Amino acid sequence: MKPFLTGLALLCLTGLCAAAAPNGTFMDELDLSPIRQGWGEPQAKQSVAKRPLTLGGKTYERGVGLHAPGTFYIELDGSASRFSALTGVDGGVGDRGTVTVTIFADGAKVFDSGVMRGGGAPMKIDFPLSGVRSLTFSIGDAGDKNTFDHLDLADAFFETAGEAPKVVNRPPEEPYLLTPPPPAEPRINGPRVFGVTPGAPFIYRIPTTGERPMRFAADGLPEGLALDADTGIITGTIASGDKRPWDVTLRAENAKGKAERPFRIVVGDTLALTPPMGWNHWYAHYDRITDAMMREAADIMVATGMADAGYMYVNIDDCWMNAPKHKDPMRVGPARDENGVLLANAHFPDMRGLTDYIHAKGLRAGTYISPGPLTCAGFTGSYQHEAQDAKTFSDWGFDFLKYDWCSYGDIARKEKGDEAEKLKKPYRQMSALLREQERDIVFNLCQYGMGDVWTWGEEVGGHCWRTAGDLGFELNVYHAVARKNAEHHPYARPGAWNDPDYLQIGFVGDARVTGEPTPCPLTPSEQYSYMSLWCLMAAPLFYSGDMTQLDEFTLNVLCNPEVIEIDQDTLGKQGYPVHVDGEREVWTKPLEDGSIAVGLFNTGEASQDMAFSWEEAGLSGKYRLRDLWRQKDLGTFEGSFAAGTLPRHGVMLLRAWPEK
Ligand code: GLA
C-alpha cells in the first residue's frame, strides 16, 4: 500500500503546520475524470462555471464544482475515518438553481441535503467512514430543470490513513449468478411461432438445452421441410401458394429424458413474428471485423449454448465494404465492380462462403448498409444501387438487413417535398426490393427514431426500428433509454418491434472511441436489469459484446430461457412501467397464456426491501408467482408481493399466473 501524502501533511513535514492536521486527501486532488454523465465536467478547485467556488458569500480555495444531475462513486480501502465538506448551490448563480445531494456509505444513507436553493446558507457534511469501502454521491436537480444547478463541495476532505480514495463510475459489485445451470434433460426453447414466406429457404435450429447426444423429431412439418434428427436443424422450402399456419410439435430426447413443445410455422407475408435474436459485431469489433471473426462468433453461439437459448442471427454491422479511405489498407478499394455490383473488402473474401458456414450450423446471417452514398463509418452505401444491392444480399445468402440512415441525410436535405415522406422513402424502397428476393430478409430500420418512426416503421415494411441514437454513447443511462423506448409500446406487435439498440454486457468496446472490448461499465445487478428491461419491452435481443470473452456471468444473463420467453411471447405486446418514482419501478407485460410478467426494479442508490401491490400492477385475485431469474416457484399471493432486499439497481423478474 502506497502511503499518500497530502498537501496538509507535506506542510506539517516542513514544520509549517500549527496543530496536527489530519492525514487525508482533498476531493479536488482525486482524478475526477470517471465522472462522465453527459452533464458539465466536474471542476477541481473552482465552480463548474470555472469561477471561484463561493458559498454563503465566502470563497473557498479547495473543493469541487459539479453540475446536477448525476451520480458518482468513491472507492475506499476501509482505512478512511471521516468525510467532511460544505455544500450548497454555487454563489455564481445568485438565487437561481435548486440541487439535492444524497450520500450513501456502503449503501446506507449518511447525508441527505433536501432541496438546496441558490443564495441559501451552505450545509455542513460530516460523517464517519470507519470500514466504509464505497461512497455514492447522488446529485439531483430537485425535480425541476437543471439550469443553474451548480453544486459545490467546498473543502471536501477525506481523513484517511491508507490509500487515497478513488473516483469510479460505478460502485464495486461482485458478479453473482441468479440462474441455475440448465438441466441434463432436454428443454426446448425459442419462439413458439415463426413466420416464413412461401417459396423462401427455411432454416431453423431447434433451440434445446440438455446433454448431447440428443435426437430430434418434429410432427406435422409442412411439406418441403425436413429435419436432421441428430442436429435438430430444419431446412427446406415450403411450396409457394401455401399460405397457412402449420402446427408442429417439436420433440427432443436424450439419455436423461424427453421434451416436446408446440411450434407454429406461419406461412404468409409476415416475418419476425417474435423479436429477432442474435449477435451483432458492432459494439465489440467496430472497424476491426473480419470473415474469420464472424465464423468464430457463429461457432461460439453454438458452443456456449446461446443458440440453445434461441439466439440465431449472426450479423455483420458496418465496415465490411470498401471505404474511399481508412487506416487499414485492406478496407480500401473500389466500391463496386464494372457492372455496379457491390464489393466486400479484403477481410471478406467470400460472402457466400461465410453465410453457407453460418447456415450449416442452422443459424441465420445478417448484414448492414446505408441508403446514402456512404455508411456511418464512411464505407460504401447503396445510394442509386438499391435494387442491385438487395439482389446481392439475397445472392450472398443474407437473412437480415440493417439499413442505417447515415449519409442519406445529405440526399434528403437536397430533395424537395414532404419532410415525413422523405424519411420514409429509402425504407419503403428497400423493403419492396427485399420482398422481391428469393430469401426472407428481416428488415431493421436504423434512423435513430426520427419522425416518430414507431408510428410508420411497419407501414414502410420494417420489422424493427431503432427508437433512439446509439446506446453505446450513453450506456450509463440504459434504464432511462428503456423508459423512453417503452413509451412507444402501443406500436409494437408481431412483425413490428421497437428497438432500443443492442445488449452491451460482458466485454464491449467503448463506442465513444470504438475501443477494444473491455469489461462493460455496468454492475452485475445492472446487467440483469438491462436484460430484464429488454425482455419486458419485447425488444430485438442482439448481443453485441465480444463472443470470444463470454464468461459464466454474461452467459447467465443472456441465456435464461424463462426470461427470454417473456421477450419471445407470441402475443407480442410490449411491456412498460406502471410505477416510477426514482427509487422503485414496476413494469408489466401481458403474455399469451393469460399470465403477466412483472419486473420489480430497485432504481435507488442503495439496496432496499422491495414490494409491489396488485393495484400498481393491474392484478386482481390470487396469483401463482415464479421468480424467472432463479427459476423458482414462490407460491400463491394476493394483494401484494414482498420481494425481500434487492441490491442497488437490481431486479426481480416474475411471472404471475391467475389462480382459477
Ligand atoms: C450508426 C448506428 C450503429 C452502427 C454504426 C455503424 O451509428 O446507429 O448502430 O451501425 O452506425 O457505423
For residue range 385-409, list pLDDT tens digits in order. Answer: 999 999 999 999 999 999 999 999 9
Phi, psi for residue 535 in degrees, rounded to 5: -70, -40
- Exactly one of 242, 299, 470, 627 is catalytic; which is it? 470
Position 476 scores a pLDDT of 84
> Cell numbers of 566, please?
417473456
For the chain, what percent of residues have pLDDT higher than 90? Answer: 88
Phi, psi for residue 271 in degrees, rounded to 5: -100, 175
Active-site residue flag, 404: yes
Position 493 scores a pLDDT of 98
Position 130 scores a pLDDT of 92
At position 530, the amino acid (one-letter code) is Y
DSSP labels, 328-353: SGGGBS-SB-TT--B-B-TT-S-HHH
- Exactly one of 404, 440, 546, 567 is catalytic; which is it? 404
What CA–CA distance (Å, rounded) separates 498 from 457?
A: 9
Summarize pLDDT for 275-334 with one digit per residue, the tens.
999 999 999 999 999 999 999 999 999 999 999 999 999 999 999 999 999 999 999 999
Position 1 scores a pLDDT of 37
Find the length of the chain. 660
**Average pLDDT of 369-395?**
98
Position 4 scores a pLDDT of 42
**Average pLDDT of 438-462?**
98
Active-site residue flag, 627: no
> Is pLDDT of 11 > 50?
no
Summarize pLDDT for 529-572 with one digit per residue, the tens.
999 999 999 999 999 999 999 999 999 999 999 999 999 999 99
What CA–CA distance (Å, rounded) separates 512 from 286?
A: 11
**Average pLDDT of 486-511?**
97
**Average pLDDT of 421-431?**
98
Distance 318 CA to ligand 1 centre (A): 7
Mean of all residue pLDDT scores within the chain: 94
> Is pLDDT of 367 > 90?
yes
How many CA within 13 A on the CB side of residue 624?
8
Residues at CB less than 6 angstroms from ligand 1: 282, 317-318, 375-377, 404, 446, 470
Position 147 scores a pLDDT of 86
**Average pLDDT of 39-52?**
89
> Is pLDDT of 104 > 80?
yes
Distance 528 CA to ligand 1 centre (A): 25
| Ligand 1 atom 3: residue of nearest CA | 470
**Average pLDDT of 206-219?**
98
> Is pLDDT of 12 > 60?
no
DSSP labels, 54-100: EETTEEESSEEEEESSEEEEEE--S-EEEEEEEEEE-GGGTT--EEE
**Average pLDDT of 173-201?**
97
pLDDT class for 8, splitting at 50, 70, 90? very low
pLDDT class for 660, splitting at 50, 70, 90? confident
**Average pLDDT of 423-429?**
98
**Average pLDDT of 79-94?**
97
> Is pLDDT of 256 > 90?
yes
Question: What domains, with CATH codes, occur in the chain?
Answer: 9-168 (2.60.120.1060), 187-267 (2.60.40.10), 277-567 (3.20.20.70), 576-658 (2.60.40.1180)
